[in-house]
């Protein structure tokens, strides 16, 4: 079945007389049994069922079924937030290990790798996932056990050649974690390319409506699911049933939304690219973008996603804030993937902890604006930027 059909139909309660056509929210924290023998069998895994919400619950399991179908893995596990999912993979697969990671990861992921993971005895090194020569050298000579990359980087929307990276890592027995949040499974399915762990922040495109925090991990090996499930039950990073229900409802329209996000971002990128007040646009959908050909291949012609960034010609903070403050429709909000278009100022948001020199080194200047392009009518988004950019 095709993507939007799976998004609409998987993760349903079983059909039958008297069964609701859409899932109910089941808020119970534990399940009662007719006999101790029955409870014992469920505890053991010898019989299907639920016993305690932290170990598993119906709404989470329906969402996990749908995510597995969309991601193309063997199993998925859902978590309280995207960070809980990332922290869990790093704890299970990265503690005490040699970990190679891209330096331009989401700021909190970078902090986990730099600050917390080394406490477990892990050694962490950073290499740009676009610098293939250095990645190949590090894999061969240093033999890392875990590679951490993002499909699309934040905020400059650089594309990682996942097929190549995973093949190189597999040659030296290194496991691969891909944070696929910016692309979503509509554009890219890292598990199908061989990634051991695909992480999504459900908070972003998958829920899509800005009203749920959640995260997920999709694995290819059922043994990995068991390791992660045991860790999740022990650490308690369980997703709330109401959040699981909402995220599943959001996921039902993921394909439709991603098509509109991509079409609108393509129009906005072309508009900004031709605007005299804009120095440079970062969007892999633009033919001149360095990631264009790779993204066209990786995303199979399904579009280039809803994330873009641009540098103002007058790259000062006052001018940037002036442009952002003039936006009337677009929301100034530090998240992404919602139905509404959102603008962020990376120098004062995701990268505010870096010095100006550190930011300049990774191309995040004062005049950079990141846009999560929503699903409104494109004309209205363009008109808002047109009026905001007037000098």
Active site residue 352: no
Residue found by looking up tokens 């998240």 in the block:
335
Active site residue 204: yes
Binding-residue total with ligand PLP (CB under 6 A): 13
Within residues 183-212, the interface with ligand PLP by CB under 6 A covers 201, 203
Q: Report the residue number, 271 or 304, with the smaller CB distance to ligand PLP.
A: 304
What φ, ψ does residue 348 adopt, rounded to 5°?
A: -115, 10
Query: Rounded distance, CA 158 to CA 301, Å?
Result: 17
Is-contact 215 85, C-beta < 8 A? yes
Of 54, 227, 249, 280, the active-site residue reads 54
Rule CB under 6 A: choose which of 215, 255, 284, 285 binds ligand PLP. Answer: 215
Q: What is the side-by-side order of every strand in the sheet holding 342-344?
A: 278-282, 307-312, 368-372, 342-344, 331-332
Within residues 69-88, the interface with ligand PLP by CB under 6 A covers 81-83
Find all residues with CB under 8 Å of 322, minimum gap 6, and list them: none
Q: Report the residue number, 231 or 326, with the smaller CB distance to ligand PLP.
A: 231
Active site residue 366: no
Say how many CA atoms lie within 13 Å of 7 toward its Cβ. 21
Q: What is the DSSP string of 307-351?
A: EEEEEESS--HHHHHHHHHH-SSSEE-S--S-SS-EEE-GGGTTT
User: With CB under 6 A as the contact rule, which of the stretches 11-19, 176-184, 352-360, 370-378 interacts with ligand PLP?
Assistant: 176-184
Give the DSSP letter of residue 285: T
Active site residue 179: yes
Residue found by looking up tokens 């000579």 in the block:
141
The CB-of-89 to ligand PLP minimum distance in angstroms stands at: 12
The CA dihedral of 240, 241, 242, 247, to the nearest 10 degrees, is: 90
For residue 220, which of 74, 363, 88 has the smallest C-alpha distance?
Answer: 74
Of 106, 197, 205, 282, the active-site residue reads 106
Q: Tell me if 213 contacts ligand PLP by CB under 6 A.
A: yes
Q: Report the residue number, 7 or 212, with the smaller CB distance to ligand PLP.
A: 212
Q: Tell me if 179 contacts ligand PLP by CB under 6 A.
A: yes
Which residues face 176 on adjacent strands? Answer: 147
Rule CB under 6 A: choose which of 62, 68, 70, 106 binds ligand PLP. Answer: 106
Q: Report the residue number, 206 or 381, with the smaller CB distance to ligand PLP.
A: 206
For residue 340, which of 312, 303, 302, 381 has the smallest C-alpha distance?
Answer: 381
Rule CB under 6 A: choose which of 59, 181, 198, 266 binds ligand PLP. Answer: 181
Sign of the four-CA dihedral 52, 54, 59, 60: negative
Q: Report the residue number, 154 or 264, with the smaller CB distance to ligand PLP.
A: 154
Q: Tell me if 53 contacts ligand PLP by CB under 6 A.
A: no
The CB-of-389 to ligand PLP minimum distance in angstroms stands at: 26
Q: Report the residue number, 79 or 271, with the smaller CB distance to ligand PLP.
A: 79
Of 26, 179, 311, 338, the active-site residue reads 179
Q: Tell me if 250 contacts ligand PLP by CB under 6 A.
A: no
In the complex, the residues that contact ligand PLP under the rule CB under 6 A are 81-83, 106, 150, 154, 179, 181-182, 201, 203, 213, 215
Q: Which residues are catalytic?
A: 54, 106, 179, 204
């Amino acid at each position: 079945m095709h993507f939007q059909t799976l998004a609409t139909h998987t993760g349903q309660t079983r059909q039958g007389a008297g069964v609701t056509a859409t899932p109910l929210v089941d808020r119970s924290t534990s399940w009662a049994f007719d006999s101790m023998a029955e409870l014992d069998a469920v505890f053991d895994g010898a019989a299907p069922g639920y016993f305690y919400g932290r170990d598993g619950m119906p709404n989470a399991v329906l969402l996990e079924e749908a995510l597995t179908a969309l991601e193309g893995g063997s199993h998925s596990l859902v978590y309280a937030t995207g960070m809980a999912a990332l922290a869990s993979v790093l704890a299970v697969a990265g503690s005490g290990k040699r970990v190679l990671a891209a330096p331009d990861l989401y700021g909190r992921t970078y902090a986990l790798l730099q600050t917390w993971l080394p406490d477990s005895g892990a050694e962490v090194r950073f290499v740009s996932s676009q610098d293939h020569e250095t990645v190949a050298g590090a894999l061969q000579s240093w033999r890392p056990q875990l590679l951490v990359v993002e499909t699309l980087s934040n905020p400059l929307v650089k594309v990682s050649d996942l097929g190549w990276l995973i093949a190189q890592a597999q040659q030296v027995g290194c496991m691969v974690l891909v944070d696929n949040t910016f692309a979503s499974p509509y554009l890219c399915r890292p598990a199908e390319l061989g990634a051991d762990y695909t992480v999504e922040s459900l908070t972003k495109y998958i829920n899509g409506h800005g009203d749920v925090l959640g995260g997920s991990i999709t694995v290819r090996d059922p043994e990995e699911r068991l390791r992660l499930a045991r860790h999740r039950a022990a650490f308690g990073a369980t997703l709330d049933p109401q959040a699981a229900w909402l995220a599943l409802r959001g996921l039902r329209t993921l394909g439709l939304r991603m098509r509109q996000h991509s079409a609108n971002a393509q129009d906005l990128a072309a508009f900004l690219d031709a605007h005299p007040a804009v120095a440079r646009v970062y969007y892999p959908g633009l033919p001149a973008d360095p990631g264009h050909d790779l993204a066209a291949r990786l995303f199979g012609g399904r579009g280039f996603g809803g994330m873009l960034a641009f540098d103002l010609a007058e790259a000062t903070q006052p001018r940037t804030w002036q442009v952002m403050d003039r936006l009337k429709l677009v929301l100034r909000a530090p998240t992404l993937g919602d139905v509404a278009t959102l603008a962020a100022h990376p120098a004062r948001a995701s990268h505010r902890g870096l010095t100006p020199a550190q930011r300049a080194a990774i191309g995040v200047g004062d005049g950079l604006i990141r846009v999560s392009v929503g699903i409104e009518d494109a004309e209205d988004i363009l008109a808002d930027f047109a009026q905001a950019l007037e000098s």
